[in-house]
Amino acid sequence: MTDLVLKSALLPDGRVADISIAGGVITHIGSSGSSEKTIDCRGCLCVPAAIDMHVHMRDGPQSAKEDWVTGTQSAVAGGVAAVVDQPNTVPAMDSAANFSARVAHAHETSFCHFAINGSVTETADLTGLWEAGALAFGEMFAAPSSYGSALSPETIRSALAVLGNAGALTTVHAEEVRPGEVHNLAEHAASRPVSGEAATVDLVNSLVPATARLHYCHMSGAASIARVMMRPGNSYEVAPHHLFLSWEEQSPSDTHFRMNPPLRTKTERMELWRMFESIPAIASDHAPHTTLEKTQPFSTAPSGVPGVETMMPLLMNAVFEGKISLDAVVAKTVTNPYHILGLVAPKIAVGSRADIAVYSRQPETILAEHLHSRCGWTPYEGMAGVFPLTTVVGGAPVWHNGEFSRDEPLWFAGKGKSFTAP
């Protein structure tokens, strides 16, 4: 007797087979026996469910924007089985006590596996956070953004020395911000140009010791990506909004398209598509704000957009349209992110953790009213996406046919329990 069978599933390699699951693990691929629960996957594609290595789950005083329940429901409804929460939270993840409290709350409320990063600030207890189980550190702000202040070169150098010695991964927000107010999308893009992103990557690379591991967040231009790759061992991610949206195609003063780094031109966006195969990871930078906050004047409206629920549907739609390969999407949303984070990635294979998304292959129109983020809007309104019918997390179908059921998610803790400060 198994716990769950995904019946007649189309596998990534083209075979059609039953996937048997017991104890949270795939136990057999082929003809199945009896099971407590069977889901008919006839005609549906089953792939390893994604990890989103860059989300902001808000919660606490920011619960009007998002909380762990709505944010992780959004994740599983979008084919994401694990999220990594970045630490520009309230309160900040700068102490072991704050960190442990957030982990405990996520344990009680999350619908998917999760990890939490530690803050990098002048006063953050880096050693305490590492020993408490921070998976990584950052995003470390080398430029200001919503709820994140820019760090001085001295603070960056000092923090990277400690984290490099520990073997911890540091994720970096690299931008250069020009002075002055911005009043529309074009001005916002000009105030945080790709050239400044590249220059900041150069700066951080110059401050980092050889032992440090760096991952650059939401790279928005080919020039800055080239700079990232000049240092061996660096990795980076690209956000869906920089692949699917450009500022010229939006209403100039629409704050719903304001994010950091900003949307780029269509020419710059298409350059990212031309280098798509070489991009190691895609992550949503899910950063929800309320509609009320986004109705402020452009100069004062917060930057950030929701995206954890639409990342995989947008990419899977591109797969079924023949624009990109399924293998590339799995590599960039499953295999590579898990490898960068030092974690074991799920596979459609016997013995693997059963994190599986089941896609019908039928596109639908993305509408905010059908999504689950508390913020209630999406920058992808009206675009096509292929959403999962079922998302299995640790062997449990936590999203199936439009309904949620919570199981016990895993906490992906970092490897710092054995670290001793020099």
Residue 405 exposure: Cα atoms within 13 Å on the Cβ side: 10
Distance (Å, whole) CA 365 – CA 172: 34
Is 285 among the residues known to form the active site?
Answer: yes
Asked if omega into 240 is within 30° of 0 (cis), the reply is: no
277 and 351 in contact (C-beta within 8 Å)?
no
Residue 49 exposure: Cα atoms within 13 Å on the Cβ side: 33
Element (H, E) at 16: strand 16-22
Q: Are strands 213-216 and 169-173 parallel, antiparallel or unpaired?
A: parallel
- Bridge partners of residue 356, in order along the sequence: 48, 392
Phi-psi region at 376: left, alpha or beta (left = phi > 0; alpha = psi -120 to 50): left
166 and 419 in contact (C-beta within 8 Å)?
yes
134 and 416 in contact (C-beta within 8 Å)?
yes
Marked catalytic residue, from 59, 285, 327, 355: 285
Q: Are strands 388-393 and 356-359 parallel, antiparallel or unpaired?
A: antiparallel
From the centroid of its chain, how far is CA 172? 14
Active site residues: 285
